[in-house]
Structure 1
Amino acid sequence: MDQTQEIEFAWLLTTGIGITFMLAVAIILFVVFYQKRLSQQQLRMQALKNEQQQQLISVTNQVQEKERKRIAHDLHDDVGVVLSTAKLYLSHLMNQPEAQTVAQKIDQLVATAAQSVRQISHNLSPQNLEKFGLVSAIDEMCKHIREAHQTEVTFEHNDAQRLDLDKELGVYRIVQELLNNTLKHAQATYINLAIKFENEQLILQYHDNGVGVDLEGVANTHRFGLGLQNMIGKAEALKGQIKFQSSKGEGFQATLNIKIKAHLLSDKS
């Protein structure tokens, strides 16, 4: 091979290597760019999915609350009227000596049923919440638990503030779920609940001294686990988060954080 051929071969080799290198770089850049676009698309899809899930949860909660109000209204108006009428007939029956004992027992049962209807109606649609706000409604709920159960309940809070009604109702339902779980499953003798409004945040801390639970063990496999998932969904719908901490024999704790733009209770009629 003469010198000219050697130069030509070297030039072709160098050119080929250069083209191959540029092609390899182009392929690498294409793969990186494609993966970046794919990752961005996946993030957008996930964000859209999360937004759709939150919207679905929000709509579901609104439908549930509307149905609760309807049932509470029907209980108060329809069943309440029937029980009132029954008590009216019983008052006449108790004037007859031979039927007085039976009438008194029936009257007690009717009174108990009427009280149950009022309590169910209140749980379904807490009017105290709409009138006086979240803190007042939770305070009343704790009072009912003290009266009906042998459980000590303490409720601490700083200055009461009013939130949007949807947020107040969402937090109220979460507290209701926490208390119900404790009363049904925990065998607790003490419950502490605290709400703080600070730095445009609502911080709710909950603790009981019950038997505790293996959180991983109950996830998605038990009604209690489904209750936890339900609370997580409610917190996400409120653009907040709730965390749970528990183990067997160590009680149960929950912390809820929600960003808020609150105004003082005295500023809202």
Structure 2
Amino acid sequence: MKNNDIIYRESVLGALRSKAEQLFYTDADKRHPEGGDRTAQLLHELEIYELELQLQNEELRSSYAALEMERLKFVSLFNTAPVGYLILDNRGTISEINETGLQLIYNQGAGIKGKPLKSFIVDDSQHAYASFVERISETDERLQCEVRLKTKKTETRYVQLNGIKAPGTNTDQQSFYITITDVTHAKRNEQELWETTERLNQTLKVSLTGTWMVKSKGEKIFLDEYSKNILDIQNRAQLVPWKALLDILVEEDRPKLNALFSNCDESHEIDLELRLIKRNGHLKTILVKGKSVNPIYGSSYYAGIMTDITDRKRNLQLREETEDIQRRLLRRAAIEAQEKERDNLSAALHNSVCQILYGIRFNLSQLAKQESFKSHLDGINSLLDQAIREVRTISVELTPSILKDFGFVAGIKDMTDRLGRAGFKVTTSIDQRADQLPEETQLYLFRIVQELLNNSIKHSGTNSASVSLCAKNGEVDLIVSDAGRGLSSQLNDAFKKGSGLRGIKNRVSLLNGTMTIEDADGITFKIHLPKGV
């Protein structure tokens, strides 16, 4: 059977002959030769053949011009294309290559054609290239691979080869059409991205940090493996229903998570501390950080990290407790030093100054027996009695021996009696169970009452105050108030200026208590000491 090409050629030649005959018979001088004139018939055929050849020649010139035009277009496109083009013969030798391919393969134009492509490929990519050539020779499909090429410099270039098998000029040979694309920049970016990701993964792993993401108005949250480990979630799926997280959070922290998902469209940063209940019943504290991301395409979403800060919180709490203990020890040492100094001063006044005053009064009493000195010594004796009373009062205030000997209730009563004799009235309501408190607690409470009453005497502008103390179930409530002027400055300024108020605050802190101040219609100090002080 004739193939399509032969049939096409015969149809074209037949058309050209018909056209030649038409041209020949249109000439008025041409006539059909007589059937018996053999010479005329031959001339007739030769003339038709001549016209046919002229037409074929014109057709060939026209086809050649069109082909040349197409060839020039192809050559221009072939050489200026941003992608390298190569044609390899069946042995892998470069038979054709464009300018871009020349630059990609060896950065030079001389000596490329006629050389095998594999000679420009680095050793560690030879196996991949050989496999690529073998595969495209066995299939009609387009295949690709990545290899590294040698360059003039020490560095190598990553390229992507795309190839397909094509028949050669001879039926028993085949060639390969290859495109070569420089992917060095992409590979370096990929390598940098991989290294950055690996460093990030190692950092997240060491720091017990995971990543998360949730779409706006989404019902599920993306959690990586680190996040699921932190949350103690066994679900292998990366997308976890966010409502499942509510079940593992403590009830007080669930509104925080609800607020996070309900306000996903807002552009603000997230900084939350959430407590969750582990399967063993222990509490874990996690820190959730993130921000709203608004991509060019698609809806906004939240993305961030979460970190297990349980140990950090515990260590911080221990450090704060240690620092608090140290501060309390310092304050206790300072107060004990004050009390010791008070004892020393009280002893000095009682054992030294008072004894001297008693001796002076005794000697003066001996002189008073003489009538000539009696009138002069009466006034001196009165002053001495007053001095002795003042020294004894100072001594008692410095070290209230009655507090040590008879307890808190008696100490407060003695204090209020002495203030009453001086013209300052104190109304008291003291729970008898206060005497059962530890001695240190009684002393601190006594000093607090003493300082507050002294402040009332000095600054309130009134001559009365009230003291109430209740000791019940191991807890103590102390209230000291007056109806005077109150504080003349802000509370913080008062604590900065007044050493007495600072001393009260320190003592309350040492007893683990709390103090509130009401500065209206006078001033009221309310002090609460918890059980166990």
TM-score between the two structures when normalised by the length of structure 1? 0.81
Partner SS state of residue 73, structure 1: helix
Contact 1:196 1:204 in 2 (8 A): yes
Q: Counterparts of 1:152-191 in structure 2 under 5 Å?
A: 152-160=425-433, 161-191=435-465
Q: Counterparts of 1:201-212 in structure 2 under 5 Å?
A: 201-212=475-486
Partner of 1:267: none
Note the C-alpha offset of 1:217. Answer: 5.8
Q: Counterparts of 1:26-175 in structure 2 under 5 Å?
A: 30=207, 32-33=306-307, 37-149=311-423, 151-160=424-433, 161-175=435-449
Note the C-alpha offset of 1:136. Answer: 1.4
Note the C-alpha offset of 1:75. Answer: 1.1
Does 1:233 find its partner at 2:513?
Answer: no
1:58-98 CA-to-partner distances (Å, cap 9, x unmatched) read 12222221221122112111111111111111112222233
Q: Name which of 257, 261, 265 aligns with 2:528.
A: 257
Partner of 2:137: none
41-50 or 178-187, which deviates more: 41-50
Which residue type is aligned with residue 438 of structure 2?
Answer: D
Partner of 1:216: 491
Which residue type is aligned with residue 142 of structure 1?
Answer: T
Q: Supply the distance in 1 between the matched residues of 2:502 and 2:203 (Cα, whole angstroms).
A: 45
Which residue type is aligned with residue 251 of structure 1?
Answer: G
Specify whether residues 217 and 89 from structure 1 end up closer, same or farther in structure 2 by C-alpha distance, changes over 3 A only: same
Specify whether residues 261 and 53 from structure 1 end up closer, same or farther in structure 2 by C-alpha distance, changes over 3 A only: closer
Q: Name which of 229, 242, 246 aligns with 2:519.
A: 246
Which residue type is aligned with residue 132 of structure 1?
Answer: F
Note the C-alpha offset of 1:245. Answer: 2.0
Note the C-alpha offset of 1:163. Answer: 1.6
Contact 1:163 1:261 in 2 (8 A): no
Which residue type is aligned with residue 112 of structure 1?
Answer: Q
CA RMSD of aligned residues (A): 3.1
Contact 1:241 1:258 in 2 (8 A): yes
1:11-46 CA-to-partner distances (Å, cap 9, x unmatched) read x9xxx9999888767756736548665554433322
Specify whether residues 70 and 179 from structure 1 end up closer, same or farther in structure 2 by C-alpha distance, changes over 3 A only: same
Contact 2:465 2:483 in 1 (8 A): yes
User: Of the two, which has the highest radius of gyration?
Assistant: 2
Contact 2:409 2:432 in 1 (8 A): no
Note the C-alpha offset of 1:133. Answer: 0.9
Q: Supply the distance in 2 between the matched residues of 1:244 and 1:169 (Cα, whole angstroms).
A: 22
Contact 1:219 1:226 in 2 (8 A): no
Q: Supply the distance in 1 between the matched residues of 2:529 and 2:377 (Cα, whole angstroms).
A: 53
Q: Percent identity?
A: 24
Partner SS state of residue 432, structure 2: coil
Q: Supply the distance in 2 between the matched residues of 1:24 and 1:87 (Cα, whole angstroms).
A: 89
Partner SS state of residue 80, structure 1: helix
Specify whether residues 145 and 215 from structure 1 end up closer, same or farther in structure 2 by C-alpha distance, changes over 3 A only: farther
Q: Supply the distance in 2 between the matched residues of 1:234 and 1:113 (Cα, whole angstroms).
A: 32
1:172-197 CA-to-partner distances (Å, cap 9, x unmatched) read 11111101111111112321110001
Note the C-alpha offset of 1:152. Answer: 2.5
Q: Supply the distance in 2 between the matched residues of 1:190 and 1:208 (Cα, whole angstroms).
A: 7
Q: Supply the distance in 2 between the matched residues of 1:219 and 1:100 (Cα, whole angstroms).
A: 53
Partner of 2:19: none
Partner of 2:470: 196
5+ unaligned residues in a row in structure 2: which ranges?
Answer: 1-141, 146-186, 210-305
238-247 or 23-32, which deviates more: 23-32
Q: Supply the distance in 2 between the matched residues of 1:81 and 1:3 (Cα, whole angstroms).
A: 117
Contact 2:457 2:463 in 1 (8 A): no
Which residue type is aligned with residue 155 of structure 1?
Answer: T
5+ unaligned residues in a row in structure 1: which ranges?
Answer: 6-11, 263-269
Partner SS state of residue 219, structure 1: helix
Which residue type is aligned with residue 152 of structure 1?
Answer: K
Partner SS state of residue 101, structure 1: helix
Note the C-alpha offset of 1:4. Answer: 6.5
Name the structure, 1 or 2, with higher relative contact order (CA <8 Å, separation 6+): 1
Size of the alignment, in residue pairs? 253
Partner of 1:9: none
TM-score between the two structures when normalised by the length of structure 2? 0.43
Contact 1:163 1:260 in 2 (8 A): no
Structure with greater strand share of residues: 2
